Amino acid sequence: MRNFIRAYPTEARLIAVIAVIMLFLSFAAPSFLTLANLTALLNNNAVNVIWAVGLLVVLIAGGIDISFAVAASVVQYIAAHIFMSIGGGNWLIGFLVAGGLGILVGFLNASLIHFFRIITIVVTIANYNALFGLLMFVTSGRSIYDLPDWWTTPVPLIERQSADGTWYGLYLPVAIMALAILATWFLINRTTTGRQLYAFGDNPEGARRAGINIGRMQFIAFGWTGLMAGIGGLMQVNIVREVVPNALMGRELDVLAAAVLGGARLGGGRGSVLGCFLGVMLVAITQNGLNLMGVSPFAFKMVVGLIILAAISTSNFKWGGASRKAPTEAK
Amino acid sequence: MDRRQVLTLAGATLVLPFGKIAVAADNPTLGVVVKIGGIPWFNAMEQGIKEESAKAGVDGSMIGPTSADPALQVRAIEDLIAKNVKVIGVVPNDEKALEPVLEKAMKAGIKVIAHEGPGIKNKDWDFELASATGFGEAHAKLLAEKCGGKGKYAVFVGSLTVPLHNAWADAAIAYLKANHPDMQPIGDRYGVAESADDSRKTALDILSAHPDLVGFLAFGSQGPIGAGRAVEERKLIGKVFVLGPFSPGQGRKLIKEGALTGGFMWNPAEAGRVFVRVAKLLAEGKEIKDGDTIEGLGTVHPDTATRNIITDNLVAINADTVDKLADMGL
């Protein structure tokens, strides 16, 4: 336990904050600590977590990606047309197509960054605008509602009825979220590539001199973000059952805020999948709690913004130097 | 008489003989400038304009700018003035931005008809197929009917700053308060109805917090869709009713399952036809008086002070009508 707190101070603090908020909500809002509500929280935030762990890899590698939510919209559109043209498709084809298209968009970002030596924020902001413009231009803003059944039918992992008659359950996006978390964890913590990503993000020049292939790092990082963007887009359609060109716009900032909240550093070299998950959940639980308590929707964004501010500003604040002293005590 | 007026007069005398010949030989011309081209709503309106033009003997066409930009509408109206059409129709993006150019059109002797812009100045008439009160009350009435006139309901609007949605919500809440005292709204209205995802999440939260909820009134095109999905997910079909205006194509599946109860809209194709009918009346120099009947609007009561003709010609969206509406591309 103490080792965990020392090794993962941000994550430990997030867990503590979430625990306090949950404890408070369980008294303030009787319906908070019900299975129906907790499962809904997971279902509703699965896509954000998928995107967050994807984005995490780019953040660790010292970059930033503003374009992934729009990329997910583009993937949804192209995928919808591919499925229609092949007469339906199935989940396997769906994952291959959405993941593949996502990786392609990621590689586009990576090529521009690597071959033209442009900084990541500029490339991805440019791509964000270019992709969104292209999407609106080609589709004239039309939404697609007529989608293959396999794609829009909810896939329950478990479904139960509680004593008071409320139905609840966990659905496919939660399983995919778990897979995305595991896969990303494995990539960044258990492979040489993962260690190289951290090294590259922390000190690109040092990494280059140590013989790390920088181009490879960019392609892996943005490819991974693209892959998760595509799969997140696929899951989003499974939840909302429609493809709307501008529906995902603006989500990139929520996800980015959550990832940073979870301890990913914008300068690169730091961040964990657990932190990402907790960051997304902290914002989600706050919003959910405000809804359940019947707090005026006027106050919503304000409270969420304040919590993000508080969490991020305290993360850089050394509590009386405690975090620096702790290791010496242990010795 | 200043130089400009002299020039206008000179121009008019030059143009007039040709103009007269043209009118005698041809049908009256009508150009309708809409908010944006290429989207289903205005495609349907164009269809209506074309059909009715052919029938009524009007040379009618629709111009849809590439984006919902008031400046593009101004330019399109300038072009119509230059072409010397008889009647200009407009569905404004920004009422204020169009005032100077419409003034110019009226000075040139062109009749101006507006739709979905009751506040606009410099027009001969504005016609509406739905009044804010009528629209809000229609949804409220249906909700009260479905839930037996008692229980708690939640209200969604597109955003807390959309005047029209809030006017609908005000009318609906006022109606329920006056006629069904056993129905109470929960808390403030939620500004989520422009996103299906936000509406769904908020609806799930509200369903958790209020197990005795009987309905959602969602004003804003994505609100009913999101709330309907939440009701379906919690398997509350038949217990919680979701009402609001939405795109029939988008809500087709949900309404057939019963997760979405229904809503009202007005028919853009009918609006297109009314444009042509009113244009024809104005081109023939006829005045629209209280008690007149215009096809598509019914018996009208024009407000001569504001130059508005406000009617309630709502189309119900329900399991029976949804296919037909969706097939129109709406």
Across the interface, do B205 and A164 touch by the CB < 8 Å criterion? no
CB contact under 8 A, A242 and B201: no
Nearest of A72, A53, A275 to residue A184 by alpha carbon: A53
Residue A14 has pLDDT above 50, yes or no: yes
Per CB-CB distance under 8 Å, the chain A contacts of B250 are 143, 145, 242
* pLDDT in the model for residue A175: 97
Of A154, A166, A292, the CB nearest to B234: A166
Asked if A241 and B229 come within 8 Å (Cβ–Cβ), the reply is yes
| Cβ-proximal residues to A316 (8 Å cutoff; 6+ apart), any chain | none
Give the minimum alpha-carbon distance from A59 to chain B in angstroms, rounded to a whole number.
26
Are B229 and A145 inside 8 Å of each other by CB? no
Stretch A235-255: mean pLDDT: 88
Q: Let me know if A12 is exposed, middle or buried by CB neighbors in 10 A (0-12, 13-18, 19+).
A: middle
H-helix segments, B128-259? 132-147, 163-179, 196-209, 223-233, 248-257
Residue numbers in chain B where pLDDT is lower than 50: 14-25
Token representation of residue B145: 């009917």
Q: How far is B264 from chain A (nearest CA, A)?
A: 20
What tokens appear for B200 in the block?
A: 């769904």
Contact B234 A36 (CB under 8 A): yes
Nearest CA in chain B to A28: B209
| Most confident range, picked from A233-237, A246-250, B94-98 | A233-237
Q: What is the pLDDT of residues A89-123, one digit of tens each?
A: 899 999 999 999 999 999 999 999 999 999 999 99
**What does the alpha-carbon distance between residue A260 and residue B270 come to, in Å, rounded to a whole number?**
52
* pLDDT for the residue A318: 55
What are the chain B neighbours of A36 within 8 Å (beta carbons)?
208, 234
Spatial distance between the Cα atoms of B125 and B104, rounded to a whole number of angstroms: 16
Residue in chain A closest to B203 (alpha carbons) equals A291
pLDDT, tens only, A121-147: 999 999 999 999 899 888 867 788 889
pLDDT > 90? residue A10? no
Which chain B residue has its CA at the smallest distance from A29's CA? B209
Partners of A83 in beta bridges:
none
Can you tell me the mean pLDDT for A290-319? 76
Does residue A40 surpass a pLDDT of 80?
A: yes
Predicted confidence at residue B74, as pLDDT, reads: 93
pLDDT of residue B5: 59
Asked if B250 lies within 8 A of A239 by C-beta distance, the reply is no
pLDDT of residue B24: 41
* Chain B partners within 8 Å of A141 (Cβ): 38-39
CA distance, residue A236 to nearest chain B CA (Å): 9
Per-residue burial over B17-56, b = 16 or more CB atoms within 10 Å of its CB, e = otherwise: eeeeeeeeeebbbbbbbbbbbebbbbbbbbbbbbebbeeb
Distance between B296 CA and the closest CA of chain A, angstroms: 28
Share of chain A above pLDDT 70, in %: 94
- How many angstroms separate the CA of residue B90 from the nearest CA in chain A? 21
Instruction: For chain A, positions 27-46, list CB contacts with chain B under 8 A.
Output: 29, 31-32, 34, 36-37, 40, 44
Using CA atoms, how far apart are residues A279 and A147, in angstroms rounded to an integer? 33
Q: What is the CA radius of gyration of chain A?
A: 20
Residue of B nearest to A149 (CA): B253
CB < 8 Å to B233, chain A: 154, 167
- Average per-residue pLDDT in chain A? 89
Give the Cα-Cα-Cα angle B122, B124, B125 (nearest 5 degrees).
110
Q: Chain A contacts of B252, Cβ < 8 Å?
A: 145
Burial of B84: CB neighbours in 10 Å, binned 0-12, 13-18, 19+: middle
**Does the model's ipTM exceed the 0.85 cut?**
no
pLDDT of residue B8: 55
Subunit contact B205:A40, Cβ cutoff 8 A: yes
| Beta pairing class for B125-128 and B308-310 | parallel
Angle at B8 between CA B5 and CA B11, to 5 degrees: 150
Mean pLDDT check: name the lowest of A62-71, A271-280, B105-114, B184-193: B184-193
Confidence of residue A247 (pLDDT cuts 50, 70, 90): confident
A295 pLDDT band, cuts 50/70/90, is confident
Is B188–A296 a contact, with Cβ atoms under 8 angstroms apart? yes
CA distance A106 to chain B (A): 25
Is A167 in Cβ contact with B233 (below 8 Å)? yes
- Answer yes or no: do B192 and A291 touch at CB < 8 A: no
Put simply, the answer to whether B192 touches A34 (Cβ < 8 Å) is: no
Given a contact cutoff of 8 angstroms between Cβ atoms, the answer to whether B297 and B127 are in contact is yes
* Residue ranges of A 108-127 with Cβ closer than 8 A to chain B: none
- The tokens for A72 are 């997910």
Measured in angstroms, the CA of B200 and the nearest CA of chain A are apart by 8
Residues of chain B positioned with their CB less than 8 A from the CB of A242: 196, 225, 250
Query: What residue in A sits closest to B157 (Cα-Cα)?
Result: A297
pLDDT interval class at A319 (50, 70, 90): low
Please work out, in degrees rounded to the nearest 5, the angle formed at the alpha carbon of residue A99 by the alpha carbons of A94 and A103. Answer: 155
Closest approach of chain A CAs to the CA of B201, in angstroms?
7
Q: How many CA atoms lie within 13 A of A280 on its CB side?
A: 27
The chain B residues in contact with chain A (CB within 8 A) are 38-40, 160, 186-192, 195-197, 200-202, 204-206, 208-209, 211, 225-226, 229, 233-235, 247, 249-250, 252-253
Q: Is B172 exposed, middle or buried (0-12, 13-18, 19+ CB in 10 A)?
A: buried
Cβ of A36 within 8 Å of Cβ of B187? The answer is: no
Instruction: With beta carbons under 8 A apart, name residues in chain A contacting B189.
Output: 297
